[in-house]
Structure 1
């Protein structure tokens, strides 16, 4: 059995980005760039108007009022750039090319019209309302560095670079195996004597997707060794990471590790000195990683958050350390002394601070749903009072 920090170090050592692949821009949201994204051209490609209005030469507005004939019209998308003869103006719209010779755009709100004449009576103000060619970016500029998670703002920049596909880190393929004779599909448990709803795999799958995974399957399995081994073999052929819930302790039907043993399981760690979640284990079979989580819902979700989340994030090309960003917060309720194992209490954010939940049972699901953070308690730590500081992690 190893301590928490040693287990995290082993997880982070395996949390390396998977190979890259090319995906269409349409499907790139939330993926991680594998290479710098450089612009194919300037933006804008030519000087364009930032407003609806009239392009003019400053010399033609030296004396006001001025009446200038409208020589041309420039809408957004006009391919050619017109020339503005002296003594005239051009009607332009937002994004339209600024005619050669124009010094500024006068906004339409302060310009009158008399047929084909534009009437300028008030000074236009200091702003030119012209976006210069290349003022946003130039061809070859890096718009997004490698490692960027492509959120909705980054997707706009990627599209503006005029690329149809992006090189991104391949999403880790995850298969989740939920083990236990007592488990039934939600919606059927009450009709099945002796069963309980299988809930853990749904939460594990949601967390994995949130961290960048492609969840290929969730499979509910009975505690039958032959069935479990066949399911393990299939999962390993499909996935980069297999997550097993339940069967991680030392009971007569705890087969989570033994189902992988005939397939060449190499254990990286077998237990961690934490509460809840001591039976959590981690290993490798060939090119796939295997993470075993306890069966109790709170234990499973706490260990998934502490170990699976950074592992998946790292495989997906994200920063795994960002998923372990502990911060200090002030306690708004006291905490009891910690036992001999490092403990991660579930807590809620209250009045600008944090308070531990009254219910800390590893099987609870109602309390699990209202927890905002994990509160880290070192082995043998004394009790803490209101106003003391504790380390917390978003949960």
Structure 2
């Protein structure tokens, strides 16, 4: 796959991952459903409200008794917001009622307490009310069997409130994509270990796992492998329990390229994509599980994930796509012909973008200081201050 275009490689990765990313349902408790995506439409199992109740603290009355105002009525009882059978209300009387209380039989309106004065066991009402005022009828919000939520909806707290109000305790959602992350290289040591000369910290494991979670996936397996084919093979066998396997490092054309050497016998496609950083790319299928292989330089790894995998995971998870905007450059820059550049930049409050650090694939601090990627097309070699460029928000 030498010098494949970015778009062609993206299409290849999307096609490879399509079977693994097919939405499938799983049932989760409401407490675990925030930000999940409904697998199908949800019908309300009940009428809401569940019963006829008061919308206000006040007095339940027969509206016809208020034809002439002011009117003074005897208070025939009191209803709190708690389980109770409906009290009967005789015409010519009122019942004190709290918000949410069961409306008495025969009452058809509620007079808010602020529109009344009380003297002993009598209430005087000064404002007219019509039948139905401040009364919540069953089904006035939603009827049993009506659609409460659509399928394909990313659940927010307001949606969970509706589900709980309807008495539901679980919800069928789209299962999260499970991802295995394998970093490679005998030169890597975990953060926190004192490195010797020639060793570097493994930032890719942390970064890829976090990026997967941010894109709505779940990391179910994560490991680091030295440049040893047997160890790599063992890690791949364990990783196949996930829907997708991501690797970093070990796919260049030099020696000690453990991912390439392990996966090529299984039909891996290894080559270069016309992009910088992130040129070396590979794909494979191992025991039926798609393997997407990124280069090992940390910026290349992170940008490769953002370009080729993150959009696919975000779509399955119901997350919005990364924001893409055109912004003017604050200063000019040169670009390599024939390669799509993914430069790093910071957007300011005026909508302009300033390039951060350089194009090197090892500049992790520069990437951390960035807020956007600046996309320079393959055919563009020079950009001047003020030129408009496409940016992807990070």
SS in 1 for 2:124: strand
RMSD over equivalenced CA pairs, Å: 2.6
Output the CA distance in 1 between the equivalents of 2:295 and 2:301. 5
SS in 2 for 1:348: strand
SS in 1 for 2:373: strand
Output the CA distance in 2 between the equivalents of 1:110 and 1:80. 27
SS in 1 for 2:390: strand
In structure 2, relative to structure 1, the CA distance for the partners of 1:131 and 1:282 (3 Å cut) is: farther
Match of 1:318 in 2: 318
SS in 1 for 2:272: coil
5+ residue gaps in structure 2? none
Contact 2:63-2:129 at 8 Å conserved across structures: no
Contact 1:39-1:142 at 8 Å conserved across structures: yes
Tell me if 1:89 matches 2:94.
yes
Deviations 1:126-161 (A, max 9, x none): 992333321221112222222112232322233234
Deviations 1:155-190 (A, max 9, x none): 223323432222222222211111111211111135
Aligned residue pairs, count: 388
Match of 2:375 in 1: 376
Deviations 1:215-265 (A, max 9, x none): 1132122112221121112112x2111111111222212212332345x35
Deviations 1:303-336 (A, max 9, x none): 111112123234x4537xx536533334444443
Tell me if 1:107 matches 2:112.
yes
Match of 2:355 in 1: 357
In structure 2, relative to structure 1, the CA distance for the partners of 1:156 and 1:352 (3 Å cut) is: farther
Match of 2:300 in 1: 299
5+ residue gaps in structure 1? none
Match of 2:153 in 1: 148
Tell me if 1:253 matches 2:243.
no
SS in 1 for 2:260: coil
Larger CA deviation: 107-116 vs 374-383: 107-116
Output the CA distance in 1 between the equivalents of 2:43 and 2:295. 45
Q: Out of 6, 9, 12, which is 2:8 matched to?
A: 6
Match of 1:230 in 2: 234
Tell me if 1:203 matches 2:185.
no
- With normalisation by structure 1, the TM-score equals 0.88
